[in-house]
Each structure stands twice: as structure tokens, then as C-alpha cells.
Structure 1
Amino acid sequence: MYSMSRLLKESWTLVEEQQDKVARHFYARIFLSNPQLRDLFPVQMDVQRARLLGAIVSAVQTVDDPERFDEYLRSLGRDHRKFHAEPEHYDLLRGALLEALRTYAGDQWSLEYEQAWRDGYDRIAQAMIRGAEEDSDTPPFWHAEVIKHERRSRDIAVFTCRPMQAIEYEAGQYLSLETGYQPRLWRMYSPANAMREDNTIDFHVRAIGAGWVSSALVRRLRAGDMLRLAAPMGSMTLDRSSSRDVVFVAGGTGLAPIKALIEELARFNRNRWVHVFFGAKDRDDLYDLEALTEFASRYPWVQVVTACSDDPTWSGEQGNISEVIARYGPWNNHDFFVSGSPKMVKATMRTLAELQVPSMRIKYDAFGDL
């Protein structure tokens, strides 16, 4: 019996230790086949090289769960309109992928492996093309002007931009963003507010290591600069039909979508209590505490708990926020929203599993792969 999932995972082990070489071969084949496509990619290819190949491999290997991933893939197709992706480009990428895998798997590559990757990739491409077609009446991206930029800590900035045309998104979703300081490098950030009548959007950004985009957004961006924003994605959104109380768990700039969700709740909430757990390394990283305090004073149904993991002078809770939530509760009849770094989200998910919170009641947003 044909098992696509088994064949995909089995064949990937043949090249997994050489994935950097596979990625280089993959891109070389793309640019040799169509040199004009090089202009769609950033000058610095080191990060991008791993990103695109990794995304394709991950998507292909999970294609045996079509109901779960169909909507995600369709939204990915809508998002990829920003790259001016056309149906023929998907065929080109498939050929480059198969050649790279075939080359580095060597004699152990088989016709069965080839067919599994071809079938898996085609399912993904069809869903993404369908998503792009469904969204053809909206622009592939929006231009937006930065109207305010504030440094909130040593490596965190909060800025506000106004798109030239309104972008419709749901609180909790994220947008891809490109700055002129790093052309063709797109990164995902969550709006820190629900949709406003004036269309302005707030973003929270931490400069991460040598991150090309995040460093530019924190240290170089100024009022008057222009950005490009792509179609909204993500499913960490509110279920208005739920009557359960809500727990928001945020680490660092993971607070951004949580703020948007609280604003959205404030527009219709009548009987749901909201508990906000906000964690950071030290007091300096609790960069938006004033806004949370204002939420708590304005809405009697909001309760805020803050914690620092490495600041003995902090008068609030001590420890990682994933540990702090276990000191409160019980939580087995609440809706959870978790947002932060992959490490923080993983730790929180483990804690919630130990507390027997049903996984179907947990939505999360991690700034990276889980």
C-alpha cells in the first residue's frame, strides 16, 4: 500500500545531514533555469536559503493531514503573492527540489521516493495556487508610512504605521513586513491592536542577534519611512461563540497579538474573565507594562500578572512565565492563547499539558518554528 508520509520521511533521512548542500543546489538550479527569479530574493541568501527549503520540506512532510493544512496552505499562497509567484514558478521549484534530493540521496534514491515527493509537492502547490486565486481582488501587498517610532528598551521598539489602503485582519493574526533598509527580506509580525477606523497599525519588535530586519526596525526605522505589508495570516483568533474565561500568556514582544486580542474582546465581552500573564527577563523587558495597567484599570474583567526570570529586584512574580501560570488556576475550563519565542511556547505547552488543559482549547503563536 502506498504510504506517502512514510516514504517522504524515510527518504528525507538520506539527505538530512547534507541539507545545506541540498539548499545550495536547489537555489542554483532555480537561478540557472530562470535567472530573472534572482531579483525576487534578498541579496543576503544565507537565512533565506534555509527558510524556503525548510518550509517546503516541512509542508510536504505534513501533507498527509489535508484538512488541517489546507487553510494554512491557501493563506500561504495568498501571502506569496508578494513575491509575484506565478503557477509556472511552482513547477520550476518542484523540478529544482527533486533534482537536489536525487543528487544528494545518491544510489539510495528510488522511483517510489520520487513519486512521493512529486505528489506531496503538487498537493501543496495546488492549495497555494488556489489561495492566491481566491485573493486576486486584493493587492499582493500594501504600502504603509511609519508615523511614530519609539525605543522602549535596549533592543525593543514600538512603532505605528498607516497603510495607504485599509488592511482587513483579525486580532491575533500576523502580517509579513518588508523595510527599505533590507529589500526583499520579509519577516512576520503581529499587529498589537485590533483594527482601527484610521487604519493605523502598531508593531512591537525586538532586535534579535544579527537579525537583518529586526535590527533595522528597532535601530534605523524612522517616522516618514515606508514599509510594505503582505496579506494577514494565522489562526490565533477569538472564538466568539465560546463563553469560557480566557488566559493570555505572553513572553517579551509576544505581547503584541495579546494586546490586539484584548482590544477585540473589549468590543463585545460581557461575561468572560481575562487573565494576562506577561513574562520577561527583567524589568527593562516589561516594555509595555503601562498599557497593561491601563487595560486592568479600564476593564474590571482583566487581571494582570507579570514576572521576571532574571531580575531579583522585581517586586512581582519571579521565574519563567511558563512556570508562573502553574501557581494560579485551576485552568482546565479556560481558553488559552500563548505568544512568544518558540522556547517559551514549548515550555508553556508542557506546563498546560501537566495541568491537564485540553489541547483543543490552546491557540499559540511562536516567532519561529515549533
Structure 2
Amino acid sequence: MADLTNVLKESWSLVEDRSDRVVEHFYARLFLAYPHLREMFPVQMQVQRDRLLAAIVAAVRMCDDPVRLDEHLRSLGRDHRKYDVRPEHYAQVKVCLLDAIRTHAGERWNDVYEQVWSDVYDLMAEKMIAGAAEDDEPPYWDAQVLSHERRGADIAVFTCRPRQPFTFRAGQYVSLECAYKPRMWRTYSIANSPQPDGTLEFHVRAAEAGWVSSALVRRLRAGDTVRLAAPMGSMTLDTASRRDVVLVTGGTGLAPAKALLGELVKYNRTRWVHLFRGERRSDGFYDQENLDRIAERYPWLSIVRAVSDEPGFRGEQGKIHDVLSRHGPWRDHDFYVSGAAPMVRATLSRLAEMSIPSTRIRYDAFTDS
């Protein structure tokens, strides 16, 4: 497996600096050869192109971890049921994807690379098809919006309830579609643990180029219907661990952390929980009163808030990974990190510098794509 992974990475390096052209070539070839597949994709394709590229890069990197890759692919296959993807589509995609990579790799492409990509793709398709076949849940759930609150100029918190039973774990995320942007699915973390009434809470920030997030913040109303795909993600509590917990969040990365807190309040009596929340300015601390009430009720929870761009703020100052470093020690803790991708990367790097084992770190990086 190691040799195969090395060849895969080596061959991908031939096109990595022009990967955007590879993706454009792929979709042009796919829609020309199989025009009936075009209706499965959104009208605006830019985010879809970014998602394909991210999926390719992630798969290449995860080849070093077969167990994680297997779990990821099966979950991805289940998720693709919402697009009505069928087994025969995988062969069609393979022809176009290999053609795109081969074309842009140029003269250095060889038969070994061709065979490795063919074999790896077949393996990935097999896992995804199996994941879809194993799933007896609906391909998606219709959910009615129960409430919608603006928590600032660009943030909204809304609740909804699926019309059919929906099973998930605290810390997971779902793909979501709304009628205002049909066929455009985006991922959002569920901000609560499973509730008896089936209610789900979501926190959404309207990004500048975020068509779906902007619609969810500015147009969604109580009474509307959204669609939810199967839950995904592994930023869930390690139920076998007795270590204390550190939650590191930024922006709407608060959502999965809040879900984990909701799970912990049901049974925790022995684990200290430290929530580090970073924002640029103090007006970004939406939902502050709710979190403070939880901390008042449960002494095992402590909250540290920090801002990076407000000199007059009376609390902690600096990037949240730097603030985290000033506390501790953290040698015997479990870490959960969620927020914008740059913040997550910086925090993971700092934890590596602290020699925190990767097996004790779970994370989600948020983008609108």
C-alpha cells in the first residue's frame, strides 16, 4: 500500500499546480460525453469544482491511512445518495477524470501512473457504492423550519425538525439544501445533541461568496422547508475516554462544540471541560448568555473568550491558538477544534508543537463549500 500511495502522490504532483484546469477539463468532458448528468449539478459550478478538487486531494492524502479512507469513502457514498448517484455513474466519471489528469500531466505521464489511478479509483468507487448499498435510511430528509433568529449582521441561528426520524451523534454535520438555492448542497454542523422532540439547531454565517449561507441567513423563514442529507463527521465524543476536554472554536465553529456540551451535560460528572472561543471582536460572541448559563449550572465547564482585533477588550487578547498556549498544561486532555480553516490549521500546528498525540485531536474546518 505504501508503494501505491507514493506513486499516487508522485503522479498527482505532475498536475497539482494546474489542478483547477484538471477539474474544468473533467466537467467539460463529463457533460459533453454524458449530457444527461448535467441536471444533477447546480447551475453555478464554481463551488462544485472546488469540492471535487478538495475530494481528490483528500483522497490522495488519506491513502496513508486505509481505515480512515475506508470510513470516509463509505460515508461519502451514503451522502451521494441525495444526488441519485447510481453505480454506473462511477464508470462514466472514471473515464473523464483519468482523461483530465492524463491530458494535463503531459509527457511525464506513464503506464504505471495510469494503472495506479485506475486501480485506486476502482477501489474508491467500490467503497462508495458499498456505503450507499449498506444504507437503508432515506437519501435525504425534509425538515420544517421552526424558528429563525438573526444574531448579528451576518449570523443566524435556526431550528428545524425532520419529518422522519433522523439519527445522528453530537458533533456531526449534514449537507443542507434550501429552496432558495436548489441543487446547491452545503455542509453545516448540528449545534445540539439529539433531542426527544427531534429538533435540530444550526448556526450559519453569511459568507461573501456564500450563495447558500447568505440565503439561510437573509431569506430563510419559519415555515420553510429544508433538506438534510445523512449525518457525517467524526468530531464526536470519545465515550471510552476519561480525560478532560478542551474545545477550541472560532465563529460558527461554536456549533459542534455546543452540541458536544449538550451531550456532556447529560452524564458528565468527572471530566473538566475548557471552552476556548476566539473572535476578531467582542460583538462576534453570539450566544454568550446561553453558554454562561451552562457554565453557571455545571461547575466543570470553564469558558475563555479572546479577541484578536479589539485592543480595548478586557478579556484575553490574541489569536485563539496563542491564548490556548498561555493556559494548560494540556498533556492529558482530549481536543476538539472547529472553525474557519486558517484557525483550525493554526491550532493543529500549535497542538503538534505541544506534542499532543493526533489520536486525541478531532476537528472540523468550516468553509461555505
Query: What TM-score do the two structures reach when normalised by structure 2?
Result: 0.96
Compared with structure 1, are the counterparts of its residues 58 and 239 closer, same or farther at alpha carbon in structure 2 (3 Å cutoff)?
Answer: closer
Shift in Å, 1:78: 0.7
Q: 1-side partners of 2:290 and 2:2: how far apart?
A: 55
Unaligned runs of 5+ in 1: none
Equivalences for 1:104-115 in 2 at 5 Å?
104-115=104-115
* Stretch moving more, 49-58 or 333-342: 49-58
Q: Is the 8 A contact 2:62 2:68 kept in 1?
A: no
Deviations 1:13-45 (A, max 9, x none): 322233222212211221122212111100001
Shift in Å, 1:319: 1.1
- Give the equivalent residue in structure 2 for 1:359: 358
Compared with structure 1, are the counterparts of its residues 295 and 2 closer, same or farther at alpha carbon in structure 2 (3 Å cutoff)?
Answer: closer
- Give the equivalent residue in structure 2 for 1:33: 33
Q: Is the 8 A contact 2:9 2:60 kept in 1?
A: no
Shift in Å, 1:217: 1.0
Compared with structure 1, are the counterparts of its residues 58 and 357 closer, same or farther at alpha carbon in structure 2 (3 Å cutoff)?
Answer: closer
Shift in Å, 1:211: 0.9
- Give the equivalent residue in structure 1 for 2:318: 319
Shift in Å, 1:313: 3.0
Equivalences for 1:146-161 in 2 at 5 Å?
146-161=145-160
Q: Secondary structure at the match of 1:3?
A: helix
Q: Secondary structure at the match of 1:267?
A: helix
Q: 1-side partners of 2:349 and 2:64: how far apart?
A: 26
Equivalences for 1:173-188 in 2 at 5 Å?
173-188=172-187
- Give the equivalent residue in structure 1 for 2:211: 212
Shift in Å, 1:115: 0.4
Q: 2-side partners of 1:11 and 1:21: how far apart?
A: 16
Unaligned runs of 5+ in 2: none
> Is 1:120–2:120 an aligned residue pair?
yes
Q: 2-side partners of 1:134 and 1:45: how far apart?
A: 30
- Give the equivalent residue in structure 2 for 1:343: 342
Shift in Å, 1:3: 2.7
Equivalences for 1:157-176 in 2 at 5 Å?
157-176=156-175
- Give the equivalent residue in structure 2 for 1:43: 43
> Is 1:329–2:328 an aligned residue pair?
yes
Deviations 1:137-167 (A, max 9, x none): 2100000111111111121111111111121
Compared with structure 1, are the counterparts of its residues 121 and 356 closer, same or farther at alpha carbon in structure 2 (3 Å cutoff)?
Answer: same
Equivalent residues, number: 368
Compared with structure 1, are the counterparts of its residues 209 and 113 closer, same or farther at alpha carbon in structure 2 (3 Å cutoff)?
Answer: same
Q: 2-side partners of 1:261 and 1:85: how far apart?
A: 32
Compared with structure 1, are the counterparts of its residues 247 and 327 closer, same or farther at alpha carbon in structure 2 (3 Å cutoff)?
Answer: same
Shift in Å, 1:51: 1.5
Shift in Å, 1:102: 1.8
* Stretch moving more, 26-35 or 279-288: 26-35
Q: Is the 8 A contact 2:172 2:234 kept in 1?
A: yes
> Is 1:195–2:216 an aligned residue pair?
no
Q: Is the 8 A contact 2:156 2:203 kept in 1?
A: yes
- Give the equivalent residue in structure 2 for 1:98: 98
Compared with structure 1, are the counterparts of its residues 54 and 27 closer, same or farther at alpha carbon in structure 2 (3 Å cutoff)?
Answer: same
- Give the equivalent residue in structure 2 for 1:285: 284
Q: 1-side partners of 2:156 and 2:163: how far apart?
A: 22
Deviations 1:125-147 (A, max 9, x none): 11111111110x21000001111
Q: Is the 8 A contact 2:4 2:116 kept in 1?
A: yes
Task: Let me know the Cα RMSD of the aligned residues.
Answer: 1.7
AA in 2 matched with 1:268: Y
Q: 1-side partners of 2:69 and 2:243: how far apart?
A: 26
Structure 1 stretches (4+) deviating beyond 3 angstroms? none
Query: What TM-score do the two structures reach when normalised by structure 1?
Result: 0.95
* Stretch moving more, 119-128 or 359-368: 359-368
Q: Secondary structure at the match of 1:264?
A: helix
- Give the equivalent residue in structure 2 for 1:11: 11
Q: Is the 8 A contact 1:252 1:279 kept in 2?
A: yes
Q: Secondary structure at the match of 2:267?
A: coil
Q: 1-side partners of 2:186 and 2:306: how far apart?
A: 28
Q: 2-side partners of 1:61 and 1:122: how far apart?
A: 17
